[in-house]
Amino acid sequence: MKIDNNDRLIGYLQHIIHWSVRVLAILMVFVIVMGVVDVAWTLYQKLNAPPRFILTISDMLATFGAFMAELIAIEIFINITVYLREDVIHVKIVLATALMAIARKVIILDTEQADPMYILALGAVVLAMSVGYWLIHRLPDSRHVGE
């Protein structure tokens, strides 16, 4: 059987993409570790600033935002590792990551400073993402259809 040059090229390009995704996974671990260090350092600074060992509401919201950013980074890492194992992008995982990112935005949102249209748009995005996730979650797994 003769191997078509296009098949060889596609195989070569897929190999490059596979290694690129591995590099991204390594870089994402670095980002996660540095983010954890940053969260710990920020928390240390907030607790040592006068009044000592007390977090204000704005301190807690900033800390929650940093924690959520770390959780989003971990979710992105999971997306990368799932892609490496299965060579597909799972929409459910991507939507869950997007929901977490929009939830972070809602948690750290300063409603006093935000424009009402911005809050309405943010609500629409939350609703759309939630409905999308719910629909994807309700769909039967295509690997088991027909069994």
* Mean local confidence (pLDDT), 95-106: 88
**pLDDT above 90 as % of the chain:** 35
Distance CA 96, CA 89 (A): 13
pTM: 0.71
Distance of CA 89 to the CA centre of its chain: 13
pLDDT at 33: 97
**Alpha-carbon radius of gyration of the chain:** 21
* Mean local confidence (pLDDT), 122-130: 93
End-to-end CA separation in angstroms for the chain: 34
How does pLDDT run across 47-62, given as a tens digit for each residue? 898 888 888 888 888 8
How does pLDDT run across 79-100, given as a tens digit for each residue? 888 888 876 667 888 888 889 8
Does residue 2 have a pLDDT over 60? no
Domain locations along the chain: 5-138
